[in-house]
Structure 1
């Protein structure tokens, strides 16, 4: 019984470390959005440099997960081990996307400010909120909240598509806008991908509770690859 209790305690501590890692990545994302708006190159470079801390956290968590796996867990615990490897990988990618936004902001600041920066920030805050909810679902084992995160990804897709179309229109109206708008397009794509990683975290929460039971179908509304995406 003592061994089982010890194992359960280590599992809880692992989840807490993964959730803390996730909140660090979200803070990085919010910092990246802030430097875009404030046009602060120094802060942008700090966001890029801080990405290494998230990478190191993922490496440490992976080692901790493998130590738990070697103790011979049951089927339920094996799902926890798999989620303990998958979710930090999703968080690490969120950190990468935050760093990418910060890197492009440095180049973007060489051009005059664009009004679409406000739309980019709005998109990013929705994505950050999705990650926070996914982390809460993981921390509490709330599969209902996980499904809400997964379903809400359609809203983020809609915002991304609207910003995509607005930027294309802006580029077509004035060739001088092409370079800065291209950077904003790539930054927006990074933010849309953050939403996808939040969805993947949520789907791992479902997997923890239900194993291979199929997930309900969901709506996807990223229209950027459709012919109607062009203005």
Structure 2
């Protein structure tokens, strides 16, 4: 029979695996946006190649969770730890997908002159990445206050997204030759907005982990 000490170590290993996946996703987001801003095709390809590694991390974590459930038949708090682990890894994998999508757009645009300097999109990326880091910190330390702050920060990212959308729409209306690139940049902004949403999900799952109560969505 597995001792409680051994079981606690397995739960700690699960948490560490999630943090490692989070770091990989954060790096992919960062490099995807840099590849876009600097029109760096090699870096964009690196991000796209790394998506398989992130997907494998998700599979490994899911397998770890299934083994823990089958072998330990956890109840109450332990079950919430494993259940939130499954939910969080799904959000992280989707963030990785969005980083891949941004890198794909960067690769497609690598020979185009940018219609405007990229200011708000990198700012969105920085905010979304901070939300990701803070949500994982809240998960690790069981800090509900930090988790709630992540949820509040999502509104600011949404605001910048709509600002970017309106600005790029104006470019398209004034100059039809910008439509293709402006549309792609709107997609990038949307992917970053969705990354922030997934960080919010992680924060909400942290609140559930600690309290057993689901945070009511707006």
TM-score with structure 1 length normalisation? 0.90
Shift of 1:139: 1.1
Which 10-residue stretch deviates more, 111-120 or 132-141? 111-120
Residue 31 in structure 1 maps to residue 3 in structure 2: no
CA displacement at 1:6 relative to structure 2: 1.0
Deviation at 1:217, TM superposition (A): 6.3
Distance 1:40 1:214 in 2: 42
CA distance in 1, matches of 2:58, 2:151: 23
For the 8 Å contact 1:149–1:198, the answer to whether it is kept is yes
Which residue of 2 is the match for residue 229 of structure 1?
none
**Distance in 2 between the 1:138 and 1:34 partners?**
28
User: Could you tell me which residue of structure 1 aligns to residue 158 of structure 2?
Assistant: 157
Alignment of 1:1-231 (within 5 A): 3-70=3-70, 71-211=72-212, 213-215=213-215
Using the alignment, how far apart are the partners of 1:217 and 1:56 within structure 2? 30
3-state DSSP of counterpart to 1:36:
helix
Aligned to 1:223: none
Give the alignment's Cα RMSD to 1 decimal: 1.5
Change (3 A) 1:51 1:214: closer
The runs of 5 or more residues in structure 2 that have no matched partner are: none
Shift of residue 190, structure 1, vs aligned partner: 0.4
> 3-state SS of the aligned residue for 1:88?
helix
Structure 1 segments, 4+ long, off by >6 Å, are: none
Aligned mates of 1:173, 1:21 — CA distance in 2: 43
TM score, norm. by length of structure 2: 0.95
Q: Secondary structure at the match of 1:80?
A: helix
